[in-house]
Amino acid sequence: MDSYKTFIDEFARLMDEGQRLPLGSFEPPSHSQIPENAPKVMIFSPHPDDECIVGGLPFRLRHECQWRVINVAVTQGSNKARQAERRREVESACRFLGFELLATQPNGLEKISLTSRRQNRPLWEHAIQIISGILSEYQPDLILFPHETDRNSTHMGTHALLIDSLEQLPPTFSCHVAETEFWEPMPTPNIMVESSKDNVANLVTALSFHVGEVKRNPYHLRMPAWLMDNVRRGAEHVGPQGSSMPDYNFATLYRLSGWHQGQFHQVLPDGRFLSQTDSPAALLP
């Protein structure tokens, strides 16, 4: 490679070639057994596919630390004609990643948005009952859900739903919380979790099982570029402004806190970079 033009040409060539890769037709790898008493991670996914997009930290906890990862399908999308198919797609994606899948109800919850929270209290209270019941039953050690301004209406609705559901639980309930981002960056992430090339390949391959979605918008091919840009942002959003960028190619940003006595608590005094060689469980004492 002798010029930046060649560098950019290679990106464009790879995108073109990626369009010809098969979707959702890969055999899942073999996964190690999880101990019965393993800590539990629950991803509260606004849509089928979010388990792959924000899965950098859960994937590492599953495969490096033998944590149990459960993807909670909050909704199965708003297109009723696609809901059953989206359920099959997320089942395949979770099987590929080694995640368990838990449905909120047949076809998922409906109309999870801030508008419903304000204007349709019976629907909203029903959703709170389901989510708080899941939290109470499973007693997760870590939960993931979108941050409050993640732009997409269902993502913001899912954030509000999780907050309202947590507030319904007894004050003795406690867990770690990792807020996630996709549609809009968080202003205050505090951890940057590196993903290896192999891990990114697994996440993108799993994302390809969401065939109906990536056919209309091949965002699975752009996910590596997003993970690369997270390293740029995370260097000075998680680390201090003006700090040197860690030697990562791919990373995911989260905002980690603790939930106890009915409110959030700070668990990290400063931002943290978690490299491939660090144990992700060390973030969650």
pLDDT in tens, 89-109: 999 999 999 999 999 999 999
Domains of the chain: 37-283 (3.40.50.10320)
| Rounded Cα gap, residues 81 and 27, in angstroms | 27
* Residues in the chain where the model's pLDDT stays below 50: none
Residues 6+ apart with CB under 8 A from 251: 56, 192, 193, 194, 195, 227, 230, 231, 234
Strand 251-260, strand 175-180: pairing: antiparallel
Amino acid 43: pLDDT: 99
Amino acid 245: pLDDT: 86
Q: Backbone phi, then psi, for 265, in 5-degree steps?
A: -135, 145
pLDDT in tens, 127-169: 999 999 999 999 999 999 999 999 999 999 999 999 999 999 9
In order of 52, 177, 275, the CA distances from 56 in angstroms are 8, 15, 12
Amino acid 83: pLDDT: 96
Q: What is the 3-state secondary structure (H, E, C) of 129-195?
A: HHHHHHHHHHCCCEEEEECCCCCCHHHHHHHHHHHHHHHCCCCCCCEEEEEECCCCCCCCCCEEEEC
